[in-house]
Amino acid sequence: MHNIVIAIDGYSSCGKSSTAKGVAAHLGYAYIDTGAMYRAVTLYFHEKHISLTNASDVIDALNTISIEFRRNKEGENQTFLNGLNVENEIRKLYVANKVSEVSAIAEVRHAMVAEQRKMGKKRALVMDGRDIASVVFPDAELKLFMTADPLIRAQRRQIELMAKGDLLSFEDITANIEKRDKIDTTRKESPLIQVPDAQVIDTTHMTLDEQVDMVCIMADEVISKKLRLHAS
């Protein structure tokens, strides 16, 4: 009875994935980085020169893709594409520049949503992305929508990239975030929206620890309520 699904949606670089990882670790839940799944597909399409406008090619490519998550010795999630660790490669800007376009393809979203639902059958799951509460798990017990000031998001993204040795201009990063926001919120297939029963978290002035603590408190309240209802 203590197993719930926590669905976290929101804009890029507002702390969704880091928060989700921290909450999952605190609760002992599984963590699924749906953004990494779309990035892995984007990387594969890039490497195989798949035409994004050819539905047949897209479907054929999707049928040859296998994505899984494994933890390294440090306990960090690593993304594997067809058996190869692509965690570092999928975080590069050339992938980020294309991922929203790839994610907007109906066939891609349908394939990834099906995989995500399989992963969540046992509940006890924290999943972040763009359409988790609206499409993947509309029955999630805790739904959150995360946002932050675009300039703060760009700063965070630049720091993250610099830590990995990628030196990119602030202007390029800002342009990438603006482009992704526009595509994510206006695409026809599963656009980024805030569902009515989602609780909003503005992370502009919050540290990561504060974000994790807030969500853990929310989760504990939902779990406690669920247990009380079951006992009554």
In whole angstroms, give the CA distance from residue 150 to residue 36: 21
Q: Total structural domains in the chain?
A: 1
Kindly report, residue by residue over 165-217, the tens digit of the pLDDT: 888 899 999 999 999 999 999 999 899 999 999 999 999 999 999 999 999 99
Range of the domain at 191: 5-231
- According to DSSP, the β-strands at 77-81 and 67-71 are antiparallel
Give the DSSP H/E element, type plus range, for residue 78: strand 77-81
Residues 6+ apart with CB under 8 A from 183: 100, 101, 103, 104
pLDDT tens-place string over residues 51-108: 999 999 999 999 999 999 888 888 788 999 999 999 999 999 899 999 999 999 999 9
What does the alpha-carbon distance between residue 122 and residue 101 come to, in Å, rounded to a whole number?
31
If residue 94 lies in a helix (H) or strand (E), which one and from where to where? helix 93-103
pLDDT at position 232 is: 75
Q: Which of 100, 125, 130, 94 is nearest to 16 (CA)?
A: 130
Least confident of 41-45, 74-78, 154-158, 201-205: 74-78
